[in-house]
Amino acid sequence: MKICLDKITGKTIRYPLDGVAWFPPELGLFVASEPGWISVCRSDSETVLLKGELNGVLQSSCGRCGVHVEDDFNNRFEYVVSSRKEEIPEEQEVECSDDALNTLYLQEPEIDIDEILREQAYLESPVRMLCSENCKGVCQGCGAQLNSESCSCSADYSDSPFAILGKINKK
Ligand SMILES: [Zn+2]
Ligand SMILES: [Zn+2]
């Protein structure tokens, strides 16, 4: 979805999100019957305040053992959208501050809502979902699911094909 800046007035317009096709598949599956909304309202001739909310369930697989996991995904966000040219202060590091509003500088006079939603999905999704903090994962020697099975491996598994999996999972 894209919103033309010309159409935004000083009156808040709220758009319900009608799908989750924008959700990046590498983060998992975002499941929601009513995924949320975004609203836009003009602050001045060059600035628009954008707010939004996402509500659903994120489905993925455990980063250690691979079982299906779900987590609530609820997120509110706000952006100041500016059609001004981005001002980059000279010889000064751009400071990142949590309480500062996200500012989005537009290249074109329209707001790409999907792009904002994708950014929020990345910001709010866990780097790795786990079925439990204590998940024991998969045995690097025999591939057993250590949460539900025990195995008698004790040797050095560095030659096993599962060792690679273990190294990936430990990242
Ligand atoms: Zn697990
Ligand atoms: Zn084993």
pLDDT digits (tens, 9 = 90+) for 15-32: 999 899 999 999 999 999
Cα separation of 14 and 128, whole Å? 33
CA of 151 to the centre of ligand 2 (A): 5
Compute the 3-state secondary structure of the chain and give helix, strand, coil in percent, each to the nearest 5.
Answer: 15, 35, 50
Say which ligand is closest to the CA of 139.
2
The pLDDT, as a whole number, for residue 152 is 84
- Interstrand relation of 68-82 and 102-105 (parallel, antiparallel or unpaired): parallel
CA of 96 to the centre of ligand 2 (A): 46
Q: Is 102 helix (H, G, I), strand (E, B) or coil?
A: strand
Cα separation of 117 and 127, whole Å? 17
Residue 170 in this model has a pLDDT that exceeds 80: no
Residue 159 in this model has a pLDDT that exceeds 70: no
The pLDDT, as a whole number, for residue 126 is 87
Say which ligand is closest to the CA of 136.
1
What does the pLDDT average to over 46-67?
Answer: 95
CB 121 within 8 A of CB 30: yes
The answer to whether the pTM exceeds 0.85 is no
Question: Two tokens at 148?
Answer: 């539900």
**pLDDT by residue (tens digit) across 64-115?**
999 999 999 999 999 999 988 776 666 655 555 555 578 899 988 999 999 9
Say which ligand is closest to the CA of 69.
1
The pLDDT, as a whole number, for residue 116 is 95
CA of 133 to the centre of ligand 1 (A): 8
Residue 162 in this model has a pLDDT that exceeds 70: no
What does the pLDDT average to over 5-19?
Answer: 94
The pLDDT, as a whole number, for residue 169 is 54
Say which ligand is closest to the CA of 157.
2
Our CA dihedral for 83, 98, 21, 81, rounded to 10 degrees, sits at: -10
Write out the E strands in the chain. 2-4, 13-16, 29-31, 36-44, 47-61, 68-82, 102-105, 110-112
Which carries the bigger pLDDT value, residue 166 or residue 10? 10
CB 111 within 8 A of CB 48: yes
Say which ligand is closest to the CA of 140.
2
Partners of 80 in beta bridges: 49, 103
Which carries the bigger pLDDT value, residue 126 or residue 154? 126
Cα separation of 61 and 27, whole Å? 10
**pLDDT by residue (tens digit) across 118-131?**
999 999 998 889 99
CA of 147 to the centre of ligand 2 (A): 12
CA of 169 to the centre of ligand 2 (A): 16
CA of 128 to the centre of ligand 1 (A): 11
